[in-house]
Every structure is written in structure tokens, then in C-alpha cells.
Chain A
Amino acid sequence: MSCQDTRELFSAWVDGEATPAERAGVEEHLRACADCRRELDRFRRTVALLSAVEPARAPAGFAERVLARAGPAPRPRLLERVFLPLGAKLPLHAAAIVMVGVLIASVVRETPELSRAVPGGAPRAAAPGGARPVERATSGVGRVLPEATHAPTRPRAARAASAPPEPARRAEPAAPAAPRAGDFMAKGAAAPAASRSMTGESTAAVLPGLLTVRDRAYARRALAELVARLGGAELSEHSDEEAVVVEVVLPAAAYAEFVRGLGRIGTWTAAREPGGAPVRVRVTLKSSG
């Protein structure tokens, strides 16, 4: 087999798509030809580079917009059914309205560290008796491990192999009025209206927290993988130069593992423990540097 014939087969050979006869011919030629081995190395590196390209993500609200155009508005929505028992909806709707107000007040009052982390955040009230409420708040939610520095790489083949319909990993609401990313405490309890339609009003009491990380881009990917792995879903994402705010919903049983996972991504500080199921968490990702 000539050099040209061999190189013509590189693509099929690298992909395992060459016939046995072609494969044997390529391998025999490569054993004897240093030029073709060098050429093959460059070819392989090109293919590896392509495979390393980050997957694209549809814009937030894409699925909602498709569904709105496709026909009658689907109600109840997927996440509502997955995460919320029908009978629990109405009383929890009412409770959520109360909890929104309570959460804003209590979170700012009880977590001075979080308040300080927000530029222009609400002034913190002194805890009676010099107690440090934040220590109570964080003691149950895991501690910090050093961040990893490399993003996990997902093989392309694995992505393609997951083609059959998957459980709802991600459902974005129609773009809500974006809060400033840094305002995570001040707006911690307010759920975007579109998110409510996806998940049920009962979960409107958002648990806000601060995830301090070294590499925001890495942390963002790791968070997405964590949420997907635990059977949760991302509801919204907003970002600016200061922070990325991601709101997620999780099955209650997965919350402890979620907190452990956050601890592996960065330093997680939450305002309090979740009260019921499902759990809705607003994660503010901030760089530590």
C-alpha cells in the first residue's frame, strides 16, 4: 500500500470503520513508514481536538418557546408532575407566598457572611447574645474541599449513545427579568414566574446560598453535571461579571448529596436547611480571587 493510499484510510482507520483488509494494509504500511506515522499523529490530534470541543447549549427558555409554538400549552408541565404531588399543590401555593417574605427577612438577618458577600447588600442585624447564626446554618450543609482544576470530559460517543429520550435533565423557563447576579440574597426568595409554572408554586421558597469557587466556568459545568446526576433540573441562569446565579430544583432525598457535591466544587454556604420536598436552591457562583 502506498503512502497516499494509506493516508486516504486514516479517517476510517481511526474511527474503526476500515475493513479488516484495509486495516491490515494500513498497519503494515505504518510499521515501515515514519512519515506516515507522523502524519497519522497529526491527524489523530486533529480528531481529538474536534472531540474536545465543548457541546453547545440551547438558550434558556428554548424548550418553553418550542412547546408554546407546537400547540396548546401543556399543563401540567413535566417538572410539576415529577416533583410535586397533585394534592400538595394548593396549600403549598399559599404557603409559598408567606415563605417568600419570611425568607427574605430571615436570610439577611441570620447570615451575616452572606450579607457581606453582596455588594450593597442589606445591613446585617446583630445576633442576640453574640451568637453566630451562620455557623448553625452551615454546620449541616457540608464543608469545603479544594476545587478540582480540570473539567470532566464527556466522550462524544457517550453523548450520542444517550440519544434515547432521557428524563428531564433541564427545563428552562421563558427568560425572566434577570436579577443582577450579585443580588442573590436580596432576591433569594423570589422565583421567576416562568419557573413557577414549571415546578409548582409550592417550591417558591428558594434556598439561597453562595458557592465560592476558583474557576467559575469549571464550577458551572460541574454544577450542571451534579444537578443532572441527582435527577434535578436547572430552572434559570443569570450571570454578570460578578457572579453566576443558577436556580435548581432537586428531589428532597438528593439534597444531602447535592451539598456534598457542591463542597467538592467549591466553598458552599447556605442560609438554612431546606424545609420540605422538593428542594429549590439558588446557587450563586462567585470567584474567590
Chain B
Amino acid sequence: MDADPPEFLRRLRAGEVRAFEELVIAHQHRVFGVALRMLGGAAEAEEVAQEVFLRAHRALAGFRGEAKLSTWLYGIAARLCLNRLASGGRRMVCDGEEMLARIPSGEADPATSLERSELSTALHQAIAELPDDRRVIVVLRDLEGLSYAEIARALELEPGTVRSRLHRARMDLKDKLERFFS
């Protein structure tokens, strides 16, 4: 696990504008990606992703560096999304405008291409149907590449909880995508 450069952390804590700008540029796509995959709509995802960075901006002076910056930002993003989804018992929006789980095509064969497109749609649907507390772990692990320990830290969960929720979520996805694996 690469640590954040101490000098960069010092600049951030000191409130250096350039350092914050570098932070936003470096992490904007990942933070937005988590919000998009949790909430489903690009407009709401941007709103939440902006809020993530604004909260980080306000808290940077006290950032102790116990977690990596990326883990910290992922944690803020995940909590904001889960809170939104919990308020009013709402579900992830699936407006069909954004394909949240696009798989690279690159296939010359139209039949293969069509199948891949169907697979993308099925995967998107299956991810969207996961319970929020499992979907967030799949997003962080399989789409964003965090380790179990990083996820546990970001979500303030026990590593065993991360492990079991991830397993349930993947088994659920496997069952829903079974027809593509025959």
C-alpha cells in the first residue's frame, strides 16, 4: 500500500489551494464513479461527489493520515450515498440514461457485440438490484480495486463483515448472470 507523500499532506493541511486542486483532479473520477454507481443518476452523483470534496476541504486541516487520502475520500463518498439512499427508503435510480456497468466492446463480430451489450445491461441491472450495503462493497472492491482492509476502514466495518457481504453480493450477481456463462 503506497502511502500519501508527507509533503503533499503537509500542503493540504496547510490549506494550500494548489494542493487541494491536485487532490480534486487526482480523485474526481473515482469519487464520481462511486457516487454514480451507488445513486444511478449523473446529476445526483455529481452533486454528491462535489459534496465529498467540499467536506474533505473543510476537514483537511485535521486529517491525521491514518488512512490513505483515497480511502478517506471513498469513505466520505460511500457514507453520503448510503445516507441519501436510506433517507426515505429510496432505491437507486435507474433512468437508463447512464450505463453504469459498461464493458469494453472492441468486438468486430456483431453477434458477440450484441451479446456483450446484453451482458452489460444485465450486469448493470444486477448491480443496481443489490442491497445498498452490499452494492457499496462490490463497487469499492470490484470496480474501484480497494483491498478488504481499505474497505473496512473506509466504511468503518469489521473486515469479516466486508468479506461476508462481498461474498453474498458476488454470489447474487453470479446467479443473475448465470445464463451468460453456459
Q: Which residues of B contact A (CB under 8 A)?
A: 2-5, 8, 17-33, 36-37, 42, 46, 49-50, 53-54, 57, 68-71, 100-106, 108, 119, 123, 138, 141-148, 150, 163, 166-167, 170-171, 173-174, 177-178, 181
Q: How far is the CA of A11 from the CA of B160 in the complex (A)?
A: 12
Judging by beta carbons under 8 Å apart, are A168 and B25 in contact?
yes
With A45-B181, A53-B143, A71-B57 known to touch, is A63 a contact of B102 (CB < 8 Å)? no
Residues of A within 8 A of B53 (CB): 66, 70
Contact B46 A156 (CB under 8 A): no
| CB atoms of A54 and B102 under 8 A apart | yes
Question: B68 to chain A: which residues have CB within 8 Å?
Answer: 163-164
Residues of A within 8 A of B5 (CB): 164-165
Interface pair B103/A56, CB less than 8 Å apart: no
Q: How far is the CB of A229 from chain B (nearest CB, A)?
A: 16
- Whose C-beta in chain A lies nearest to the C-beta of B43? A59
Q: Chain A residues near B138: list those with CB within 8 A.
A: 50
Interface string of A49-82 (1 = CB under 8 A from B): 1111111111100110111011110100110010
How far does the alpha carbon of A156 sit from the alpha carbon of B145 in the complex, in Å? Answer: 5
CA distance A261 to B27 in the complex (A): 26
Q: Which of A115-123, A147-155, A178-186, A263-271 touches B?
A: A147-155
B134 CB, min distance to chain A CBs, angstroms? 12
Partner of B106, one of A43, A63, A218: A218
- Which residues of chain B are near A242, meaning CB under 8 Å? none
Given A160-B146, A163-B69, CB of A57 within 8 Å of CB of B123: no
**Is A160 a contact partner of B70 (Cβ separation < 8 A)?**
yes
Can you name the residue of chain A whose Cβ is closest to the Cβ of B163? A12
Interface membership of A258, Cβ < 8 A? no
Whether B142 and A51, one on each chain, are in contact in the complex, defined by CB atoms closer than 8 angstroms, is yes
CB distance from A248 to the nearest CB of B (A): 15
Q: Whole-angstrom distance between the alpha carbons of A67 and B56 in the complex? A: 12
The verdict on A157 contacting chain B, using a C-beta distance below 8 Å, is yes
Inter-subunit contact A52/B24 (CB<8 Å): no
